[in-house]
């Protein structure tokens, strides 16, 4: 859109919206128009919610989660098992595990995965912080809930190596057939893993 059509203010709004994941240039234009049309009910509340987020949201200094307090609600929750730490790549993965209600434990957000091609080394991730938490004692299990990608698995191996000197169990998520999944649509690696790790029925 040439900026002469609707002025630089709208153009800037569109350009910033287009940088959100899931929105391209075309859907960013639609989103901007929608925002301007719903000024009272969406544009103003969203601007305010973003201002609040910008002001209040902090990264938890213990686990790397984001929250409005530090330590975060999960680290501060006395109802959670402090002896189990679930290691995840990102806050999004932490949320996914919480939505599933899979476990009531503590978390540790690495902030990414090791990726030599992208120049991400161990010092770029919160691995030293994890080792320090384990070294402080009281942790009996570390569950590696990293993604089942090559970089994720490399990172899992690296983290395991860093923890070998401590007396704890290091586990990882099971591979297998997704619940509701059909064998015909699954890749060979997943089927092979599901067969290897078959359980009693």
The answer to whether 36 contacts its own copies (rule: CB under 8 A) is: yes
What is the spatial distance between Cα 81 and Cα 86, in angstroms, rounded to a whole number? 11
Q: From the CB of residue 159, how many other CB atoms can be counted at a distance below 10 Å?
A: 22
The answer to whether 35 contacts its own copies (rule: CB under 8 A) is: yes
Q: Which of 87, 88, 94, 142 binds its own copies (CB under 8 A)?
A: 94
CB of 69 to its own copies, least distance (A): 8
What is the spatial distance between Cα 109 and Cα 112, in angstroms, rounded to a whole number? 8
What is the spatial distance between Cα 196 and Cα 182, in angstroms, rounded to a whole number? 18
Write down the residue that tokens 């320090």 correspond to.
Answer: 132
Secondary structure (3-state) at 24? coil
What is the spatial distance between Cα 194 and Cα 97, in angstroms, rounded to a whole number? 21
Contacting range for its own copies; rule: CB under 8 A; set: 85-93, 113-121, 124-132, 187-195: 85-93
Q: How many residues bind its own copies (CB under 8 A)?
A: 57
- For residues 88 and 94, is the Cβ–Cβ distance under 8 A? yes
Q: Which of 61, 76, 81, 95 binds its own copies (CB under 8 A)?
A: 95
Judged by CB under 8 A, the chain residues 114 through 173 that form the site for its own copies are none
Contacting range for its own copies; rule: CB under 8 A; set: 84-92, 130-138, 142-150, 163-171: 84-92
Judged by the rule CB under 8 A, the positions of this chain that interact with its own copies are 1-2, 4-7, 9-10, 12-13, 16-17, 19-23, 27, 29-36, 38-39, 42-47, 49-54, 56-57, 65-69, 72-74, 90-92, 94-95, 98-99
């Amino acid at each position: 859109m040439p900026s002469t059509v609707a002025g630089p203010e709208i153009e800037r709004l569109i350009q910033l919206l287009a940088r959100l994941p899931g929105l391209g240039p075309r859907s960013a234009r639609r989103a901007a128009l929608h925002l301007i049309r719903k000024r009272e009910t969406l544009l103003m509340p969203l601007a305010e919610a973003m201002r609040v987020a910008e002001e209040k949201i902090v990264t938890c200094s213990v686990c790397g989660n984001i929250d409005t307090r530090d330590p975060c609600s999960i680290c501060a929750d006395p109802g959670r098992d402090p002896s189990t730490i679930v290691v995840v790549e990102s806050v999004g993965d932490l949320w996914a595990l919480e939505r599933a209600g899979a476990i009531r434990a503590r978390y540790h957000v690495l902030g990414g995965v090791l990726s030599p091609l992208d120049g991400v080394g161990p010092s770029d991730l919160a691995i030293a912080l994890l080792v320090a938490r384990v070294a402080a004692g009281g942790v009996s299990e570390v569950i590696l809930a990293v993604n089942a990608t090559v970089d994720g698995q490399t990172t899992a191996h690296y983290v395991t190596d860093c923890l070998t000197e401590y007396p704890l169990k290091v586990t990882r998520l099971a591979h297998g057939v997704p619940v509701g999944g059909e064998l015909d649509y699954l890749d060979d690696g997943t089927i092979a893993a599901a067969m290897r790790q078959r359980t009693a029925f």
